[in-house]
Chains A and B, each alone.
Chain A
Amino acid sequence: MSIDEGLRSELSRQGIFTTTLEGLYNWGRRNSVWPLNFGLACCAIEMIAASMARFDLARFGAEVFRPSPRQADLMIVAGTVTKKMAPMVVRLYNQMPEPKYVIAMGACAISGGPFKQGYNVLKGIDRYIPVDVHIPGCPPRPEALLHAFMTLQRKIDAQKLSGSDRARHFDAQAPSEFPIPQYGQHDLEPPRNEAVWRPPAMRRGE
């Protein structure tokens, strides 16, 4: 960032548009996010509605739902993640190329939702993969998904190309694959990925 904001706005007032490589890169990235064509439960119906003409996700450049993870940038975890399905979700996420983003859509995907007490329900997909945007709601309306998508766009816009706080996919050492849980006798093994999610610590007497 070599050009200061005052000079930039002055130039743009004179009709000269200036940008940075980072800004150009992020602008392109955020306006051509291809979601994975992947739904788990009723939230997927709202996701489909969001992609159709009435709510029109295409306005944000994200209408190209890809049936293959190898062509997708964004995974919208739309619905209840059962423990049986969790390894598949993580495997699909691992097969997506970097840079990749995750929107956890709906109460089930972020916490287990109304099925939280069920023996077979994962209590939030963020236990295994890094989630960028959480949307509450049961199910969230398409507008909520659009809001989540705009939030993700703002997040992509703020990503750095270089430096120590650069985005994960620019860092050769940062992980791209996350461990896939196995079916254990009573629960998934391991029950969570400690590098991604830790149970909230409860401290008494405060």
Chain B
Amino acid sequence: MRLNSTTLRNRSDWSGAVPIRPEYGWKIGWNGGSRASGIQTVTGTRTTHMQASDHPYLFLAVFLVVAVIFPLVPLGLARLWARTFSPPKPGPVKNAIYECGVESKGDAWIQFKSEYYLYGIIFLIFDVEAIFLFPFAVAFTNLTIGAFLAMMMFLLLLVEGLVWAWQKGVLTWK
């Protein structure tokens, strides 16, 4: 069936799937099924040709080779160009860690105050709690008493954590 504007406009033609012409099938079928044998019947002369169905993972090997070669060629060309025309010139200033012009002092691996970590984790807990509170508030009027009690228990556990953190003095910044 040829698809043209007339057949496309006729909706009854859309009910059946458009037949795939067998010569458009993949030469290397991934399951070596009907499509590979479709080639066989159409061409008719390829009986001695290696069948893709004999090596179902052949296309993986082909893809792998292409995937390795495809990035390696431009990388190799760039390397060759750099070696010939653009000699690298590293130096202590050029390789310095910081890049705003000011000389860096000391080590980048320093200990950070742990207070912020506690703040962050408490914020995270109540941030997540808020996500549960919104649907709870929306569905509040037609909740069962069991669901209400479960939610209150959830809130109580978090508030208990907050009270604990408060008493430990986590909320006062030192």
A interface, CB within 8 angstroms of B: 25, 68-70, 87-89, 91-92, 94-95, 97-98, 161, 169-172, 175-177, 180
Say yes or no: A95-B96 contact (C-beta < 8 A), given A88-B101, A89-B101. yes
In this assembly, does B1 line the interface, its C-beta being within 8 Å of a C-beta of chain A?
Answer: no
Bound Cα distance A174, B103 (Å): 25
Q: Collect the chain A residues with CB atoms within 8 Å of residue B102's CB.
A: 88, 91
Closest CB in chain B relative to A129 CB, distance in Å: 12
Say yes or no: A161-B93 contact (C-beta < 8 A), given A68-B99, A88-B101, A88-B102. no
Dominant secondary structure of chain B at its interface with chain A: loop
Chain B residues within 8 Å of chain A by Cβ, number: 13
Q: Do residues B99 and A70 form an inter-chain contact, with CB atoms below 8 A?
A: yes
Bound Cα distance A68, B94 (Å): 12
Q: Do residues A95 and B85 form an inter-chain contact, with CB atoms below 8 A?
A: no
Q: Do residues B86 and A95 form an inter-chain contact, with CB atoms below 8 A?
A: no
In this assembly, does B87 line the interface, its C-beta being within 8 Å of a C-beta of chain A?
Answer: yes
Say yes or no: A176-B85 contact (C-beta < 8 A), given A68-B99, A89-B101, A95-B99. no
Q: Collect the chain B residues with CB atoms within 8 Å of residue A177's CB.
A: 89, 91, 93-94
Closest CB in chain B relative to A2 CB, distance in Å: 18
Q: Collect the chain B residues with CB atoms within 8 Å of residue A176's CB.
A: 89, 91, 94
Closest CB in chain B relative to A197 CB, distance in Å: 19
| Total of A-B residue pairs, C-beta within 8 Å | 45
Closest CB in chain A relative to B92 CB, distance in Å: 8
Q: Collect the chain B residues with CB atoms within 8 Å of residue A172's CB.
A: 87, 89
Q: Collect the chain B residues with CB atoms within 8 Å of residue A169's CB.
A: 86-87
Picked from B85, B86, B94, B100, the residue with its CB within 8 Å of the CB of A94 is B94
In the complex, residue of chain B having the shortest beta-carbon distance to the beta carbon of A70: B99
Say yes or no: A170-B99 contact (C-beta < 8 A), given A94-B91, A94-B93, A177-B94. no
Q: Collect the chain B residues with CB atoms within 8 Å of residue A70's CB.
A: 99
Bound Cα distance A206, B96 (Å): 50
Q: Collect the chain B residues with CB atoms within 8 Å of residue A170's CB.
A: 85-87
In the complex, residue of chain B having the shortest beta-carbon distance to the beta carbon of A176: B89
Bound Cα distance A76, B5 (Å): 60
Bound Cα distance A38, B144 (Å): 63
Interface residues of B in 79-109 (CB under 8 A from A): 85-87, 89, 91, 93-94, 96, 99-103
Picked from A25, A95, A161, the residue with its CB within 8 Å of the CB of B94 is A95
- Listed by A's residue number, 26 A-B pairs whose Cβ atoms lie within 8 Å are A25-B85, A87-B101, A88-B100, A88-B102, A91-B93, A91-B96, A91-B102, A92-B101, A94-B91, A95-B93, A95-B94, A95-B99, A97-B94, A98-B89, A161-B85, A169-B86, A170-B85, A170-B86, A170-B87, A172-B89, A175-B89, A176-B89, A176-B91, A177-B89, A177-B93, A180-B93
